[in-house]
Homo-oligomer: A and B are copies of this chain.
Amino acid sequence: MADIPPQIEALIDMMARLPGLGPRSARRAVLHLIGKREVLMTPLAAALAEVARGVRNCARCGNIGTDELCPICASDKRATGEICVVEDVADLWAMERGGAFKGRYHVLGGTLSALDAIGPEDLRIPQLVDRIGAEGISEVILALNATVDGQTTAHYLAEALEPAGVQVTSLAQGVPIGGELDYLDDGTIGAALRARKRF
């Protein structure tokens, strides 16, 4: 656009690349930030830089954190023996908001997808298999989205985990067909967890 300082235009372009923001809402967000320079814009810049510098994936479960182990893996308050498998960190957070699961997680980093050519070797599946014996896991709860790719991945995991002799269950009642965990209300996720069934 004519006669907008290039630094501000570059900032708007970056903001417009965030999910849920288009060009117009990016412009409004930048003007809002400029109007709250000291109380919001400068702290936000610092927070982004700090997280960008410090964030890393948990060496065990793939969740994000700032240390080698994420807060959940590092906590001694989480139940041992159960692993909840999720597609990504957004779904892990959705499970945590539900508050019903007390064990630890395993973040696959995606789902199998013929269309996107994502095979088992592209996900953190070998690491999951390794954890069964190493951590003495007795139950793996598959909390995958009720989509075609999610369910394909669930079936693949159930077979891959069979030799380990671990019980494999999945979220059942309450997850609507085609539904994505991150869109569900907290109570629904809790109910689905409690009513989980053998896979």
Q: Which residues of B contact A4 (CB under 8 A)?
A: 71, 93, 96
Min Cβ gap A73→B in Å is 10
Q: Which of B1, B2, B10, B25 contacts A20 (CB 8 A)?
A: B25
Q: Is A115 an interface residue (CB 8 A)?
A: no
A side interface size, CB within 8 A: 57
Cβ-defined contact, B5 with A47, below 8 A: no
Q: A44-B14, A45-B52 are in contact. Are A66 and B5 (CB under 8 A)?
A: yes
Oligomer: number of copies:
2
Q: Which of B28, B64, B182 contacts A34 (CB 8 A)?
A: B64
- Interface secondary structure of A, over-half rule: helix
Q: Is A21 an interface residue (CB 8 A)?
A: yes
Interface bits A5-33 vs B (CB < 8 Å: 1, else 0): 10110110011011111001101111111
Min Cβ gap A104→B in Å is 10
